[in-house]
Amino acid sequence: MYEVVVPLTIRELVPEDLPALGEPPSKVVAMRKELERAERGEIVYLAVCTPSGRPVGFGAVDFMKPAGGATVYQLTVIEPLQSCGIGTVLIQALEERIRARGILFAELGVDDASTRPQRLYERLGYVVSGSETGAWDVDTPDGSVTRYETTITLLRKQL
């Protein structure tokens, strides 16, 4: 087996990154709106990039909620590179941004239909703190958009 070590950089996600991410159209629309919030300082949206500058992961932190804390969300690593440590690096970078603002805890949510990410978050010190209903738009194979509804498990970490 061969091993290749690729250095990664973390930078702000920019609108020009969106077409290369391979995300469905409805998510790209939502991400553009979130980038507008980043311009106002309400959130930070980060990209984990290869030396070529291509994002292989991204995520955001919302400083507006919950009260006294911040919400980490939209954590994504491209599928072929999952389980390589990129998600851990991304979460740590987002937590650094939270600490820099003097915020005491981070919160994130996991779709109960997708439990694999929860193991990562728990390994990084997040503990279950509750649940809530979640919903967002998803693209269907026929090109239409439908509303996806689920239960979200909330996890929290003191920083």
pLDDT at 86 over 90: yes
Band (pLDDT 50/70/90 cuts) for residue 20 is confident
Give the predicted TM-score (pTM) of the model: 0.91
Domain boundaries defined on the chain:
9-158
Report how far apart, in Å, the C-alpha atoms of 144 and of each of 28, 29, 127, 148 are: 15, 14, 36, 13
H-helix or E-strand spanning residue 128: strand 127-139
For residue 12, the one-letter residue type is E
3-state class (DSSP) for residue 117: helix
The mean pLDDT of 18-26, rounded to a whole number, is 89
Query: Which superfamily is assigned to 9-158 in CATH?
Result: Gcn5-related N-acetyltransferase (GNAT) (3.40.630.30)
**Cβ neighbours around 17 below 10 Å, total:** 19
* Contact between residue 155 and residue 110 where contact means Cβ atoms under 8 Å apart: yes
